Chain A
Amino acid sequence: MAEMTTNYWWASESFWKKMAIWITAASAVVLIFLTFDTVAKITAGGKRVPAYSVINHRIDYVFDEKRNHQVPVIGPEEPLFGRSLSESEAAELVNKGKLTVQAKNCMNCHTLLGNGAYFAPDLTKSWLDPAWGSKEVREQSMIEFLMDPSDKLHNALGRRMPKLGITEEEARATVAFLKWMSAIDTNGFPANFKPIDQADTPAEAGAQATPAAAESSPVQ
């Protein structure tokens, strides 16, 4: 064994010491280079992660032939709670929502973008979930649910979300955050998601099938 480590260059200590240094350094350099690019592309206001004022619009999740998965589609003006917000107002509201999501520890039951705990449904596209009933009652249902979920029907298992002392202001902000999050381009996660019907008329429902963003593939 001793002979082995001294006779062959590829099994020598000095060779692997150099390899360890060079491989680590090269990987780190590539990672840093990619990080600059990624951070630029996921800054809010870009193609993948929209500006916070996207909550002024309808958001849908539609199959894209070219990318072969569903993509978020920013639709016509459809302000949250019926009031169109400026960019800074929208940012402030989503910010309050994100603070609420963190302070109430949502991620230790739910997943957001698929990360978190697995005791409750994924929230990535919760804004688009058909379980809210209809588009007309969705906003109010979400607010009421967030403020006191303890007496609402969840499922046949008896598993319930606890009452976390969420105020109406926090609930509205959380809904804004969830609406904004549903507009993030997540490369088709979750797959095969069936969004709530948001069409105003049956004719529009047919027209909706063409995604506005189908022409532009964000990367490559």
Chain B
Amino acid sequence: MASLGVLDSANLNGGQKLAVKYFTVAIALFGAQVLFGLLAGLQYLYPDFLYGVLDFSVNRMLHINALVVWLLFGFIGAVYWLLEDESGVPVVGLALGNLVFWVLTLAVVVVVGIYLLVQVGPGEMKSIWLINEGREYIEAPRWADIGIVVCMLAFFYNVAATFMKGRFTGIGGVLVLDLVALAGLYTAGMWYTPNISMDQHWWWWVIHLWVEATWEVLVGCLLAYGLIKTMGVRRKIVETWLYIEVALLFGSGILGLGHHYFWIGTPEYWLAIGGFFSALEPIPLVAMVVHAVFDAGHHKLKSTNNPALAWMIAQAFGNFFGAGVWGFMHTLPQINLYTHGTQWTASHGHLAFFGAYATIVIAFVYLAVQKWRGNVWMSGELVGAWRWKWAIFLLHVGMIGMTMALLIAGYEQSQIERAIEGSGWMGYFAAQAHPWFQQGMTWRMISGWVFAAGFLLLAWDLLTIGSRESRPARRLEPQEAMAVS
């Protein structure tokens, strides 16, 4: 075994060697997301900035696509990270997994190149196939869609077959079933129709049933594993909680889909069904907070990996506030009529994606760098610990600042553009020119710079944390260690 504190892939099992590749690309794409977010934010303040070169539509598309892809890379990485541990056997198709990684990464590079250099195409099917589908979050052209599906099938085969060869833990069982749904749902968003109501109806099957159902359950699995690993929480407890979360998440989230069917041409019964079930959606998120905080308190915050634990606690709260509270605030149709399609959505989107998903991926990357360096000490009094602490602090200050600024802009828009002016062109610009909106955009930009600083510090920390440590990782107490095995 290599000496402690030195990056050495000999410290990792097969699945984990693949996982760190995914994590590396994920963090790079996180950086791209921040970069294009900054450019798009600047265009609110300086409309001529990059006009006609990299227009807002291009920056915004790259901002949200980088988000989706870096989270997916992070999730795939996290699943490969825990796969051999959970199943007890090596990944069955590691060569296939590696091939898929390179294919996916190459496809991402090509698609980003097309977005940047070609940007738009003529109004023909060939543009949909080759350039850009023009559908928020899933803009990737059709050829890439097909590639993604093939890669996801290969990934799913690896996960399912490895668990089948080894053992199915509770986490493994939920994970495999969730991945079936997650991959299957993507195909609902691959089809073209001239009918915009039909288009958005199926588009929401992908977007909502990913982020408000299957992704949440995936995160539940990752959090369960993370709590076992960092604190030795008993498996029976985390798996019971996981089943509770699945019941509540799917029980509220599947029919909660209806809150996207208020205004797109879909029937009126969705107003009641969507309003009711989506109002229940915060409940599982409360359960997840209670679960994570209770376990952390029960183990007196003694963990084998403090940064990972901190990011998992951040996940519990971020998920609850970002997805739960911020979602609930405008989920009822009576309110949503005025907030739908304003910066309210942007406020909710920012805090929810960061709180629920970015956090857990970052936690897993911290787990990975620890083991990659020979399972080095990452508990209290870690050398250079200021970096991870300042990174998590700056990222949160930046994110909360952006969320609040966007929320104020959203309130102002709901009032002036929607309630008073009635959503026409004049009303829209009356609201955009209002000082409250403009101040909101300024504060969002300032917060964005803080967030970017936090990202740079995070990236630096991930590259260096543990490199000057020579102590082995904190050992779990004997009864804790028993829980893990």
Cβ-defined contact, B132 with A187, below 8 A = no
Chain B 424-468, CB-CB to A under 8 Å as 1, else 0, gives 111011001100000000000000000000000000000000000
CA distance A140 to B283 in the complex (A): 52
Q: Take A13-B239, A44-B195 as given contacts and tell me if A38 and B124 are in contact as well, using a CB distance cutoff of 8 Å.
A: no
Which chain B residues (45-68) contact chain A, with CB distance < 8 Å?
47-48, 51-52, 55-58, 60-61
State whether B196 touches A184 (Cβ < 8 A). yes
From A75-83, A153-161, A208-216, the one touching the partner chain is A153-161
Interface bits A129-172 vs B (CB < 8 Å: 1, else 0): 11100000000000000000010001111111011111100100
Pair A42/B197 contact, Cβ less than 8 Å: yes
- Determine whether the beta carbon of A49 is less than 8 Å from that of B342: no
Task: Tell me which residues across on chain B come within 8 A of A100, comparing CB atoms.
Answer: 122-123
Pick from B262-270, B364-372, B379-387, B389-397 the stretch touching chain A.
B262-270
Cβ of B293 to closest chain A Cβ, rounded Å: 14
- Chain A residue with the shortest CB-CB distance to B127: A103
Give the shortest distance, in Å, between B254 (CB) and chain A (any CB).
4
Given the interface contacts A103-B134, A105-B134, A113-B200, does A23 sit within 8 Å of B194 by beta carbon? no
Whether B155 is near chain A, meaning CB under 8 Å from some CB there, is no
The residue on A at minimum CB distance from B265 is: A184
Q: Which residues of B contact A163 (CB under 8 A)?
A: 52
Instruction: Mark B247-267 against chain A: 1 for CB-CB distance below 8 A, else 0.
Output: 100110011010001111111
Interface presence of B164 (CB below 8 A): no
- The answer to whether A115 touches B200 (Cβ under 8 A) is yes
- Give which listed residue, B123, B125, B266, B271, contacts A173 with CB less than 8 A: B123
Question: Which of B70-78, B80-88, B97-105, B415-423 is found at the contact surface with chain A?
Answer: B415-423
B398 to A: closest C-beta gap in Å = 20
Q: How many A-B residue pairs have CB under 8 A?
A: 284
With contacts A31-B254, A37-B267, A103-B122 taken as known, whether A162 is within 8 angstroms of B55 at the C-beta atoms is yes
B283 → chain A closest CB, angstroms: 12
Consensus secondary structure, chain B interface: helix
Given contacts A155-B433, A190-B422, contact A108 B56 (CB under 8 A): yes
Chain A, residue nearest B207 (CB): A115
* Cβ-defined contact, A115 with B264, below 8 A: yes
User: Which listed residue (A5, A111, A159, A191) contacts B240, Cβ 8 A?
Assistant: A5
Asked if A27 is at the interface of the complex by the 8 Å CB criterion, the answer is yes
> For A11, what are the chain B residues with a Cβ–Cβ distance below 8 Å?
240
A199–B425 Cα distance when bound, in Å, is: 21
Q: Which residue in chain B gives the minimum CB-CB distance to A121?
A: B428
Q: Which of A111, A130, A165, A166 has the most CB of B within 10 A?
A: A111
With known contacts A49-B197, A219-B269, A122–B428 Cβ distance under 8 A: yes
Residue B135 lies at the interface, judged by CB distance under 8 Å to chain A:
yes
Do the beta carbons of A105 and B196 come within 8 Å of each other?
A: no
Interface bits B213-245 vs A (CB < 8 Å: 1, else 0): 000000000000000000000101101100110
> For the complex, is B470 an interface residue (Cβ under 8 Å from A)?
no
Give B428 Cβ to nearest chain A Cβ, in Å: 4
**Which chain A residues border B133 with CB–CB below 8 Å?**
102
Chain B: CB-nearest residue to A108: B57
Verify if A24 is at the interface (C-beta below 8 Å from B): yes
Report how far A24 CA is from B246 CA in the complex, Å: 8
The total of chain A residues at the interface (CB under 8 A) is: 95
- Residue of chain A at shortest CB distance from B410: A118
Stretch at the interface among B20-28, B146-154, B333-341: B333-341
Nearest neighbor of B65 in chain A, beta-carbon distance: A108
Q: Does B412 contact A (CB under 8 A)?
A: no
Residues in A neighbouring B194, C-beta threshold 8 A:
44, 52, 91, 94-95, 97-99, 177
Interface residue? B477 (CB, 8 A): no
With CB as the reference atom, state the residue of chain A lying closest to B125.
Answer: A99
Closest chain B residue to A25 by CB distance? B250
B135 touches A103 (CB 8 A): no
Residues of A within 8 A of B139 (CB): 105, 108
A157 and B267 within 8 A (CB): no
Query: Is B346's beta carbon under 8 Å from chain A?
Result: yes
A15 to chain B, nearest CB (A): 8
8 nearest interchain CB pairs?
A100-B123, A102-B134, A190-B423, A189-B263, A114-B341, A16-B243, A103-B127, A131-B425
**New A-B pairs, 15, CB < 8 Å, besides A19-B244, A23-B250:** A16-B244, A38-B267, A39-B198, A95-B194, A96-B123, A101-B123, A103-B120, A112-B196, A118-B341, A119-B43, A119-B57, A121-B424, A121-B425, A162-B52, A170-B122
